[in-house]
Amino acid sequence: MKDYKNPWAWIPSLYLAEGFPYVLVMTVSVILYKNLGIGNAEIAFYTSWLYLPWVIKPFWSPMVDLVKTKRWWIYSMQLLLSVGLAGIAFSLPTTYFFQASLAFFYLMAFSSATHDIAADGFYMLGLNEKDQSLFVGIRNIFYRLSNIFGQGVLVMIAGYLMNRMESPAVAWSWVFGLCAVIMATMGIYHFFILPRPQSDTTNNQRSIKELFVSFFSKKGIWTALAFILLYRLGEAQLTKIASPFLLEARENMGLGITTETVGLIYGTIGVIALLLGGILGGILAAKHGLKKWIWPMVLAMNIPNLAYVYLAYALPENTWVVTACIAIEQLGYGFGFTAFMLYLIQVSKGPYQTAHYALCTGFMALGMMLPGMVAGYIQEWLGYGQFFIWVCLCTIPGMLLIPKLKIE
């Protein structure tokens, strides 16, 4: 391997850089726009469109193989992400902040999805087989740490600044300016520190047509795709409304929690619970197999959604009660999501496993994007309480398909 570098010098930072922009685009954008007075329907609709790059990612992933090296794509996308973050920072205090910042968020979404393709491919090129096995857990930990920093620490910083500045837009502008500096630093760092493996070339031997034909000719693929699209039908809508509900004023039937506290409860404690649930799910599935644990995991993911029904009707003022409800829901989600990811791996098995897995994740993103687009309109029509009941009902179609699936 040419120009070997200690993996500890670049694996943690690479996966911090992969998770950081994703959480800003998908989660922090929702909190930002709620703070700036945008309605739930507009927030859910426009931020759901940000899933599009991950939906179509499999169709342009060959470009990363054909043009330049994966190393080049990694630091180039990180620098482009820093430009997008700076654009958001400068646009927020302006009159047309919503349109301008959304444009930069879309730039970030496409850059982040492209970065994912390059980073995951480079991981296999830059490490030998022994190190690949050793660092698979390390990379997941640092990816989750970036989530905690993004939707936890940064949101708390934004809340702190909002309490001390006249304008929420200016407070968030400083936060995204900080993010731009962080991302630019990562891009410059990786330009110098990433190894230059000889296998990181621009050739591509795959037949694109054969890749798609083999995927859609798999036995039971249409039932599998229906399950992939429907499994997260409830969660796709809950994700877009959870933060606005926590931030909504109590006179509007929300919990009226401050941005700073949301960063702590939802972005920090919630993500830690999510991580613990995922670890537990992975241990049990590895020990006994997915077939044994599919139903407990599915139920663990969906039943805790009732916690939001309780919160919407009881409107508790005790922060510890709210924290416990969110932690339970996120713990169950992390535990149940393990089953979903393992099933995607099973569907992807074959000579094109990596590409087929990318296709599965594209359909998964589509299953998040489409329901999320209408979630805000449904919530405004039903109100928070009935909306969360609707979310619980939306978990049923996916569960009905489980007996029809081929699960190993």
Give me the residue spans of the domains in the chain: 10-196, 214-402
pLDDT band at 168 (very low <50, low <70, confident <90, very high): very high
d(CA 356, CA 45): 28
| CB-CB contact of 161 with 171 (8 Å) | yes
More confident residue, 208 or 8: 8
Q: Name the band, by pLDDT with cuts 50, 70 and 90, for residue 202.
A: low
What per-residue confidence (pLDDT) applies to 39? Answer: 94
Distance CA 330, CA 235 (A): 11
CB 329 within 8 A of CB 241: no
| CATH code for the domain defined by 10-196 | 1.20.1250.20
What is the token pair recorded at 152? Answer: 């936890």
Residue 231: closest CA among 363, 48, 326: 363
> Has residue 68 got a pLDDT over 90?
no
At residue 1, the pLDDT reads 45
Reported confidence tier of residue 207, pLDDT bands at 50, 70, 90: low
Same fold, 10-196 and 214-402: yes
Q: Which DSSP symbol is given to 250? A: G
Distance CA 65, CA 349 (A): 21
Which amino acid is it at 212?
F
Give me 9's structure tokens. 């010098």
Q: In terms of pLDDT, which residue wins out, 316 or 200?
A: 316
pLDDT band with cut points at 50, 70 and 90 for residue 174: very high
Confidence of residue 278 (pLDDT cuts 50, 70, 90): confident
pTM above 0.85, yes or no: yes
User: Positive or negative, the Cα torsion across 365, 366, 372, 378?
Assistant: negative
Q: Which of 116-125, 129-138, 178-187, 273-282 has the lowest mean pLDDT?
A: 129-138
Range picked from 85-89, 133-137, 247-251 for highest mean pLDDT? 85-89
In this predicted structure, the answer to whether residue 131 has a pLDDT above a threshold of 80 is no
How far is it, in rounded angstroms, from Cα 284 to Cα 383? Answer: 38
Residue pLDDT, tens place only, 361-402: 889 999 999 999 999 999 999 999 999 999 999 999 999 999
Q: What is the percent of the chain with per-residue pLDDT over 70, rounded to a whole number? A: 94
Question: In the structure encoding, which two tokens stand for residue 160, read together?
Answer: 């702190």
Task: Round the average pLDDT of the chain to a whole number and report it.
Answer: 89
Question: Of 220, 239, 208, which Cα lies nearest the Cα of 352?
Answer: 208
9 vs 135 pLDDT, higher one: 9
* Contacts with 101 (C-beta within 8 Å, 6 or more apart), sequence order: 32, 87, 88, 91, 92
Q: Which fold has domain 214-402?
A: Growth Hormone; Chain: A; (1.20.1250)
Q: What is the pLDDT of residue 137?
A: 65
What pLDDT is attached to residue 66? 74
Instruction: Identify whether the C-beta of residue 199 lies closer than 8 Å to the C-beta of residue 125.
Output: yes
In 3D space, the residue among 338, 335, 330, 337 whose CA is nearest the CA of residue 271 turns out to be 330
pLDDT at site 136: 63
DSSP codes of every residue in 160-186: HHHTTSS-HHHHHHHHHHHHHHHHHHH
**Is residue 23 a contact partner of residue 81, using CB atoms and an 8 Å limit?**
no
Q: CA–CA separation, 142 vs 20, rounded Å?
A: 10
Q: Using alpha carbons, select from 167, 5, 27, 166 the residue that is nearest to residue 92.
A: 167
Among 17-31, 181-195, 284-298, the least confident range: 284-298
